[in-house]
Amino acid sequence: MPIILLRQMSVGQKGTVAKVTAQGELGRRIRDMGLVPGTPLQIQGRAPLKDPVAIRLRDFTLTLRNNEADYVSVEVDKGA
């Protein structure tokens, strides 16, 4: 299954986190919010100006800026 960046996913698409490449504060924040490899997620929506993006994971909704989403690659589900 293809691995793409979180930014490139479309609204409604599902997948599983494959890799988080952010380091330092951003990396720690991303991990604190539970965005670690193996976590299933779904794109819930985008803000009116297409940025930030809202995702659903672990039963809550998280929003992050597109340039932060660039550090997260996702293995997308088939047919989603």
Partner 1 sequence: MRKANEYLIALAGNPNCGKTTLFNAITGARQHVGNYPGITVEKKEGFYLFNGLKLRLVDLPGTYSLTAYSMEELVARDFLVHERPQLVINIVDASNLERNLYLTVQLLELGIPVVLALNMVDAAASRGIEIDANELSRRLQVPVIPTVARTGKGKEELLEVTAGAASENHQWHPLHISYGADIDPVLDRMEAEINASAFLIDIYPARWVALKYLEADEQVLDKGKKVNPELSKRLEAIANEVADHLEKTLETYPEAIIADHRYGFISALLKSGVLQKSNKSDRLYLSDQIDQILTSRFFGPLIMLLILYVVYKFTFDYSAYPVGWLESGFSALSGFMESVLPPGLIKSLIVSGIIDGVGGVFSFIPLILFMFFAIAFLEDTGYLARVAYMLDRVFRTFGLHGSSVMAYIVSGGIAGGCAVPGVMATRTLRSPRERLATLLTAPFMNCGAKLPVFAMLIAAFFPAKHAQMMFLLTIVSWMLALLFARLLRWTILRGPSTPFLLELPPYRMPTLKGLLIHTWERTWQYIRKAGTIILALSILFWALMTFPTLPESQKSRFEAERALLLDQVPDDRRNSIQTIPSTTDQSFEEISSLSQRIDAVNRTESQAALRNSYAGRIGTYLEGVSRWCGFEWRTNVALLAGFPAKELIISTLGTAYSLGEASQEEEISLSRRLAEDPDWNRLRAFALIVFIMLYAPCLATVTCIVKEAGALKWGLFSLAFNTAVAFLLAVLIYQGGLLLGLGS
> Which residues make up the interface to partner 1 (CB under 8 A)?
20, 23, 25-34, 36-39, 44-45, 47-52, 54, 56, 58-65, 68
Is 68 within 8 Å of 22 (Cβ atoms)?
yes
Q: Which residue's CB is nearer to partner 1, number 23 or number 78?
A: 23
Query: Which residue type occupies 71?
Result: Y
* Structural tokens at position 52: 């930030």
C-beta of 8 vs 42, nearer to partner 1: 42
Closer to partner 1 at the Cβ: 13 or 44? 44
In sequence order, what are the residues at sequence separation of 6 or more whose Cβ sits closer than 8 angstroms to the Cβ of residue 65?
51, 52, 53
Task: Report in angstroms how near the CB of residue 37 gets to partner 1 at its nearest.
Answer: 6
